[in-house]
Amino acid sequence: MVQIQDTIVSLDVITKEFCCDLKKCHGACCVEGDAGAPVTPEEIARIEELLPQIKDMLSADALKAIEEKGIAYPDPEGELVTQIVNGKDCVFTCYDENGCCYCAIEKAYREGKVSFMKPVSCHLYPIRVKKLGPYWGLNYNRWDVCQAAVIKGHREHIPVYKCLKEPLIRRFGQEWYDELELTVSEMKKQNII
């Protein structure tokens, strides 16, 4: 593990390779699993504000779930997560004509309809962030549905932290990311990694 400011970064985030391959996985991370994506109360408020702009992209089941249960719920560990539909799909999923899953919030953001991209936990995936006392722990979450991303990352020699540069800067800032890159460079010089 490596400490960068108030974070403890798993070596897997630095040494393992990963690069999303949507053409192969079809957005399975938004569909598979037993809970929705972690969200903060602030993100829930932002999503509630933009809901009118994305409603037309959501399924009838998703709209019903949001109306009846709200945008998020506490998971068994007490963490707020997005609602899911039919025991799997995040309520914010939408599909293209080829069956590829997309985030309706991100789609609206990329089309210039809203100013919020999506929950930062989604943007950071497969990095998961957990509070560890006074620190934030960053771990690489391995999951079978992301096997194509592991293969592509290995083929293109892209470490997890480089694949996720944009969301890491979004969450922790440019100075933090620069310090991470400097630390990785020093570790390589010293043959630690």
Same domain, yes or no, for 60 and 138? no
Is omega for the bond preceding 126 within 30 degrees of 0, making it cis? Answer: yes
**pLDDT digit string, tens, across residues 12-35:** 999 999 999 998 988 888 888 778
Q: What's the pLDDT score for residue 108?
A: 97
81-95, 109-123, 174-188: least confident range: 81-95
Instruction: Report whether 110 contacts 121 (CB < 8 A).
Output: no
How many Cα atoms within 13 Å fall on the side-chain side of residue 29?
22
> Tokens in use for 82?
């997005």
Same domain, yes or no, for 189 and 173? yes
Q: How many whole angstroms separate alpha carbon 169 and alpha carbon 158?
A: 17
Domain extent at residue 81 = 26-123
Q: What's the pLDDT score for residue 32?
A: 83
Same domain, yes or no, for 92 and 134? no
Q: What's the pLDDT score for residue 29?
A: 87
Q: What's the pLDDT score for residue 54?
A: 97
**pLDDT digit string, tens, across residues 35-81:** 899 999 999 999 999 999 999 999 999 999 999 999 999 999 899 99
Same domain, yes or no, for 183 and 159? yes
Same domain, yes or no, for 63 and 134? no
Domain count, the chain: 2
**pLDDT digit string, tens, across residues 108-162:** 999 999 999 999 999 999 999 999 999 999 999 998 989 999 999 999 999 999 9
In degrees, to the nearest 5, what angle opens at C-alpha 22 toward C-alphas 100 and 152? 155
Query: Averaged over 101-105, what is the pLDDT?
Result: 94
Same domain, yes or no, for 32 and 118? yes
Same domain, yes or no, for 187 and 142? yes
Same domain, yes or no, for 165 and 85? no
Among 103, 123, 143, identify where a domain stops: 123
Same domain, yes or no, for 36 and 118? yes
Q: What's the pLDDT score for residue 98?
A: 85
